């Protein structure tokens, strides 16, 4: 089993996250569309909303994996020996339990407000948490870790005392300055080889916990009607569409929400157990 760890985002994560948007969104966007989408994440998000944004990263390259590439660029040649063989997207093992309370400083005591953590029994391969229950980590089997270390994989930026690590997922979100009870998720992305194993659920869970502890009972997210996986994911996470002008595949859509031709679904979820917000 290999360990993935959560941490708060930093400004230096901007480049690898932009690179991730340009490549990880390939299932629902053309390369030009993905590039255009990445412009919706200017550096300011990592300068002003890093405290509420999350990174999930792998461990350093396994022994013999060779050198690393920093700052989100493609891994260097020496990196190719890091277990790329057999690491085809989708050929990933299961992810263990998501736990909370670690890297993001989420307050203890709100864990009961989280969406249910993934249990090992629900995953292909029956992965189990392999570490202490409250270490803020996810566990994936070795084939998943190999995928993260594959050539061309993205790495987080070097940070002071340690080198960058493989980028497994990220969440960019913030607590609305204008709406005291609302938290907003702007982007979430998971490495293509690690999807549908509970990683985005775990990222949302940590964001929800922090929103709850900050007395933000409402979480919002905007999704393009073309992004069917994201729509399915948000439904699975308990979000409901908030209004709309017409329906697309049964989901209400706001016409021209983000400008002419940019229709959007406005998703909203209320967090149970969040303290009421005065005023």
> Which listed range, 132-140, 226-234, 247-255, 257-265, lies at the site for ligand COA (CB under 6 A)?
226-234
CA distance 10 to 28: 27
Q: Least CB distance from residue 148 to ligand COA, whole Å? A: 14
Q: How many helices (DSSP H) and strands (DSSP E) are in the chain?
A: 6, 10
- How many Cα neighbours within 13 Å face the side chain of 227? 25
CA distance 32 to 121: 40
Q: Does 188 bind ligand COA (CB under 6 A)?
A: yes
Q: Does 24 bind ligand COA (CB under 6 A)?
A: yes
> For 222, phi and psi rounded to 5 degrees?
-110, 135
DSSP designation for 159 = B
> Which listed range, 48-56, 106-114, 145-153, 229-237, lies at the site for ligand COA (CB under 6 A)?
229-237
Q: Does 8 bind ligand COA (CB under 6 A)?
A: no
- Cα three-residue angle 201-206-207, rounded to 5 degrees: 95
CA distance 228 to 224: 8
Q: Least CB distance from residue 279 to ligand COA, whole Å? A: 31
Q: Does 25 bind ligand COA (CB under 6 A)?
A: yes
Residues 191-220, interacting with ligand COA (CB under 6 A) = 195-201
Q: Does 14 bind ligand COA (CB under 6 A)?
A: no
Q: Does 233 bind ligand COA (CB under 6 A)?
A: yes
Which residues fall within 8 angstroms of residue 204, CB to CB, at 6 or more apart? 115, 171, 185, 188, 237
Cβ proximity to ligand COA: between 170 and 175 the closer is 170
> Which listed range, 61-69, 84-92, 137-145, 227-235, lies at the site for ligand COA (CB under 6 A)?
227-235
Summarize as ranges the residues that interact with ligand COA (CB under 6 A).
24-25, 187-190, 195-201, 223, 227, 229-230, 232-233, 236
């Amino acid at each position: 089993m290999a360990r993935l760890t959560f941490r708060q985002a930093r400004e230096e994560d901007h480049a690898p996250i932009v690179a991730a948007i340009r490549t990880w969104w390939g299932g629902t966007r053309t390369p030009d569309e993905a590039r255009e989408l990445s412009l919706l994440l200017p550096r300011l998000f990592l300068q002003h909303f890093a405290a509420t944004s999350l990174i999930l990263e792998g461990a350093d390259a396994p022994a013999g994996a060779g050198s690393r590439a920093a700052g989100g660029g493609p891994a260097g040649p020496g990196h190719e020996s890091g277990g790329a063989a057999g690491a085809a997207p989708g050929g990933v093992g299961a992810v263990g339990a998501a736990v909370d309370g670690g890297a993001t400083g989420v307050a203890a005591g709100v864990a009961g407000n989280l969406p249910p953590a993934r249990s090992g029994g629900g995953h292909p391969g029956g992965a189990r948490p392999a570490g202490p229950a409250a270490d803020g980590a996810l566990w994936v089997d070795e084939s998943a870790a190999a995928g993260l270390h594959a050539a061309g994989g993205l790495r987080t930026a070097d940070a002071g005392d340690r080198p960058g690590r493989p980028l497994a997922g990220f969440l960019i979100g913030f607590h609305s300055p204008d709406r005291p009870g609302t938290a907003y998720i702007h982007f979430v992305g998971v490495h293509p080889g690690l999807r549908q194993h509970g990683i985005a659920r775990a990222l949302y869970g940590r964001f929800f916990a922090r929103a709850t502890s900050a007395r933000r009972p409402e979480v919002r997210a905007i999704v393009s009607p073309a992004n069917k996986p994201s729509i399915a994911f948000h439904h699975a996470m308990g979000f409901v569409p908030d209004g709309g002008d017409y329906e697309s595949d049964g989901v209400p859509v706001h016409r021209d929400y983000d400008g002419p031709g940019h229709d959007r679904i406005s998703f909203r979820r209320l967090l149970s157990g969040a303290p009421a917000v005065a005023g």
